[in-house]
Structure 1
């Protein structure tokens, strides 16, 4: 009878044991900022470096300036 008393006591402790559950919820909101920069350059000199000069060719050739 002694064993049955120990088993009954153990079951009683199992019923009265308390369990604590902690749940933590973390919400992170990310903010994304997109910056768009548009640069427009207008060449008002038509490719010349100074006013009054003809436009410079992309590849200078001796024929354009005269051969020495």
Structure 2
């Protein structure tokens, strides 16, 4: 088999695979999240967790060397 024939066959096969994947994606549609997350729910808010400065143990400056 010549190189041009091999390359053409490869590109046609690759186009067929991507075309099939695109078709399957169009049929199945977008995925849905497993869990819905609502950050604006006041019942489940944690004020200590919402304030990034509260309880922070990061030093203001690095070590002096």
TM-score bracket relative to the smaller structure: 0.3 to 0.5
TM-score (normalizing by structure 2)? 0.34
Q: Which structure features the higher share of helix residues?
A: 2
Higher relative contact order (CA 8 A, sep 6+): 1
